[in-house]
Structure 1
Amino acid sequence: MQIHIPGDGEIRIKHLVLDFNGTIALDGKLQQGVRERLLYLEKLFTIHVLTADSNGSATKECDGLPVKLQIIGPEDQREEKRSFVSNLLPDGVAAMGNGANDELMFRQADLAIAIVGKEGCATATLMASHIVVNDITDGLDLLLKHHRLIPTLRK
């Protein structure tokens, strides 16, 4: 995906990095509408799901999805997520998440979208985001209809 943001230049995204719990899943279950959107988005991005998998359901819930699932360890999750995104650069990364462990990943990403959702969003992650949306389907739709990004991001 490539989009021109007036006053800010070009955004080029090749990778989409998604948190699992609180972002694409709630209580360990994939949220409604996510599967269908990811099937469309696989044509635009390499999709990664990066999770601590606190409910132990990520492997099952991501089965059959066009995603690369990466389960991170229990220690220093913020740094592990930051490093993961950093290793994808300079290809261009959009990240979506809501937890405190997503903050450093957001600071590395070219486009960071905070998902408030039913779990809420950690303040530090919210402050590191470029855009804030109410739920994951709104966030994914911004990438499917990326012309919506222009009015929000233009300077």
Structure 2
Amino acid sequence: MLEIDIPGFDLLRLEHIVMDYNGTLALDGSLELGVLEKLRCLADEFTLHVITADSHQQAESQLAKAPVKLHIIPSEAQAETKLEFVRELGAERVVAIGNGRNDRLMLEAAALGIAVIQMEGVAFAAIQRADVVTPNILDAFDLLRFPRRLLATLRS
């Protein structure tokens, strides 16, 4: 668990990280370089969840050695399904990370929403609903490994 009090933002007590797969952790179905190692580092403090429609059908094999709980969802109503998943975990304890339009609702609902740009780009709707935008997933993970960075970005 990560606990950090950000003046003018919130006292965060974060237990879960909920992540999109394609465009966030992976490009064209394959994990981005360095993601597996960072996930292993974060697994000591957080329960890690990947929620995806798995359009490239590679998430299970790519994440086989990752300390994550994989949740494959239907192609229909992805945004709503991801939102409901975050709510079921307790949104006040969740960091959500994504890049797509279908991530916008979970980014907004989570205690901390991080939009990542990555090679695929990022949907403007995801940017609008996130608390922080990072240029890539590794930087997003480092915000959680080095939480004073969040303090510097989010305080008011």
Q: TM-score range by the shorter chain?
A: over 0.9
Spell out the pairing of 1:1-155 with structure 2 (5 A cutoff): 1-89=2-90, 92-155=93-156
Distance in 2 between the 1:15 and 1:35 partners? Answer: 17
Cα deviation code 1:95-152 (max 9, x no counterpart): 1000110011112100000001111111111100000000000000111111110010
Structure 1 stretches of 4+ with a deviation exceeding 3 A read none
CA 1:119–1:90: 2 relative to 1, 3 Å: closer
| Greater CA drift, 4-13 or 69-78 | 4-13
CA RMSD of aligned residues (A): 0.9
Secondary structure of the corresponding residue to residue 49 of structure 1? strand
Q: Please say if residues 106 and 129 of structure 1, whose CA atoms lie closer than 8 Å, have aligned partners that are also in contact.
A: yes
Distance in 2 between the 1:8 and 1:75 partners? Answer: 34
Distance in 2 between the 1:50 and 1:35 partners? Answer: 16
Secondary structure of the corresponding residue to residue 7 of structure 1? coil
- TM score, norm. by length of structure 1: 0.97
Cα deviation code 1:62-116 (max 9, x no counterpart): 0011000001101111100000000011560001000110011112100000001
Distance in 1 between the 2:65 and 2:39 partners? Answer: 11
Distance in 2 between the 1:124 and 1:91 partners? Answer: 21
Distance in 2 between the 1:91 and 1:15 partners? Answer: 10
Secondary structure of the corresponding residue to residue 103 of structure 2? helix
Distance in 1 between the 2:10 and 2:121 partners? Answer: 31
| Greater CA drift, 4-13 or 67-76 | 4-13
CA 1:119–1:111: 2 relative to 1, 3 Å: same
Cα deviation code 1:39-67 (max 9, x no counterpart): 01001100000001010000000001100
Number of equivalenced pairs: 155
Secondary structure of the corresponding residue to residue 151 of structure 1? helix
Identical pairs, percent: 46
